[in-house]
Amino acid sequence: MNKHHSANPAGPHGPTVAPLRAQARDGASAHGQAAATTAVTTATTAAGVQRVRPAAAPDHEAVAASAGGVLLKAVGLKKDYHKGKHVVPVLRGVDLEVRQGELLAVIGQSGSGKSTLLHLLATLDRPDEGEIWFNGQRIDNASTRQRDRLRNRHLGMIFQFYHLLPELTALENVLAPLMITHGFFSYRLQRRRLVERAKALLETVGLGHRLKHRPREMSGGEMQRAAIARALITEPQILLADEPTGNLDGRTGQGIMELLRSLNTQSNLTIVMVTHDSAIASQADRVVQLVDGQVSDS
């Protein structure tokens, strides 16, 4: 497996992140650029064990196909949980490829390990076995600092329970990743510009009127939109969504799905979404089913 990637012309450091240049504002122009800069080898498709569901969204498939390159790849991921003396295997060798620009849904029952898989992909946890490659770089064994940096700048995450910081307003929550990126003085210097960007992003997700509100003053849908804005503020290459509609009623959840869809099409944002809801999953370009810690071929 390594061979493919060590042959990557971009070298061990990989291509520098293709920022989705203000994807919320001029997504169309960014589309082509992002696709071009992340032109990783396509040969890995041979390893594909994913079950593609072409019927789900035929027009979207074209987008995924046009993107082509593999952005994120998991090979033979294994992860056990230890509860006292008992070892509970969660992932038993998962192979997964995420192509540039696609909206991929990972569907599975509770306990199938889909959240664990997402955490591994997001470098929040380390696999017991297997490898994760992002942009041609192996990230599962990177140092903690490198992984923190990766999460901060190149990965966006949203969660079922939104996970906004309760002490901060919507605007501050969105700015939080930038505050982590920049030191005190660097942030103070660029503050005006960064705040403008956050405001524009909140505007895009439909929260222009909620800038100064604390999470507890917002509805579930609004909180999830704020969380999406926060995930996108650093212009990541990929958005990892853990049950993004899991805690929302049908209509609100659909609104979130539409937002994700539009981000995907307009900004060519690659999205990996974990869900147990097949109705939600069916809106993805491609669906991977996880059963008992393995990708199911059924």
Going by C-alpha positions, the residue among 10, 13, 16, 14 that lies closest to residue 235 is: 16
Among 46, 166, 193, 216, binds another protein (CB under 8 A): 166
User: Please, which residues have CB within 8 angstroms of residue 57's CB and are 6 or more apart in sequence?
Assistant: 282, 283, 284, 285
In whole angstroms, give the CA distance from residue 285 to residue 290. 16
Element containing residue 137 per DSSP (H, E) = strand 137-138
Among 7, 28, 165, 279, binds another protein (CB under 8 A): 165
294 binds another protein (CB under 8 A): no
Rounded alpha-carbon distances, angstroms, from residue 273 to 42, 97, 214, 295: 22, 13, 26, 15
Shortest distance, CB of residue 195 to another protein, whole angstroms?
Answer: 12
In whole angstroms, give the CA distance from residue 198 to residue 230. 8
Q: What is the DSSP string of 78-125?
A: EEEEEETTEEEEEEEEEEEEEETT-EEEEEE-TTSSHHHHHHHHTTSS
Among 148, 196, 249, 258, binds another protein (CB under 8 A): 148
Q: With respect to another protein, which residue has the nearer C-beta, 191 or 199?
A: 191
Judged by CB under 8 A, the chain residues 184 through 203 that form the site for another protein are 184, 187-188
User: Please, which residues have CB within 8 angstroms of residue 56's CB and are 6 or more apart in sequence?
Assistant: 281, 282, 283, 284, 285, 286, 287
230 binds another protein (CB under 8 A): yes
Among 40, 63, 132, 150, binds another protein (CB under 8 A): 150
164 binds another protein (CB under 8 A): yes
As a whole number of Å, the end-to-end CA separation of the chain is 24
122 binds another protein (CB under 8 A): yes
277 binds another protein (CB under 8 A): no
Among 35, 64, 117, 157, binds another protein (CB under 8 A): 157
Q: What is the DSSP string of 171-190?
A: HHHHHHHHHHHS-HHHHHHH
95 binds another protein (CB under 8 A): no
Among 61, 80, 125, 131, binds another protein (CB under 8 A): 125
Among 4, 99, 114, 119, binds another protein (CB under 8 A): 119
Q: Could you tell me how many residues of this chain bind another protein (CB under 8 A)? A: 32
Q: With respect to another protein, which residue has the nearer C-beta, 180 or 200?
A: 180
With contacts defined by CB under 8 A, name the span among 140-148, 243-251, 267-275, 282-290 that binds another protein. Answer: 140-148
Q: Which residues bind another protein (CB under 8 A)?
A: 119, 122, 124-125, 144-145, 148-153, 157, 159, 163-168, 172, 176-177, 179-184, 187-188, 230
